């Protein structure tokens, strides 16, 4: 049930796009763009770590 809720939330946010160029490899990027990637990687690592217990 939790995974269904997570997938629903993820797919609901798909239409939210920033203007072209954001991200580490875009024409320009802001430190907050990179911080978002770091935060997502940290959350994934935390989820994997917690799932092993």
Distance CA 44, CA 52 (A): 13
Question: pLDDT digit string (tens) for 12-35?
Answer: 666 556 566 555 566 666 667 777
Q: What is the per-residue pLDDT for 52? A: 87
The pLDDT of 33-52, averaged and rounded, is 88
Percent of the chain beyond pLDDT 90? 21
Alpha helices in the chain (DSSP H): 2-12, 31-51
Q: What is the per-residue pLDDT for 27? A: 63
Q: What is the per-residue pLDDT for 25? A: 61
Selection from 50, 49, 23, 19 nearest residue 36 by Cα: 23
Q: Does the model's pTM come out above 0.85? A: no
């Amino acid at each position: 049930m939790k995974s269904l809720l997570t997938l629903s939330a993820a797919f609901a946010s798909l239409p939210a796009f920033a203007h072209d160029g954001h991200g580490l490899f875009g024409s320009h990027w802001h430190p907050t763009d990179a911080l978002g990637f770091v935060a997502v990687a940290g959350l994934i690592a935390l989820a994997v770590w917690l799932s092993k217990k």
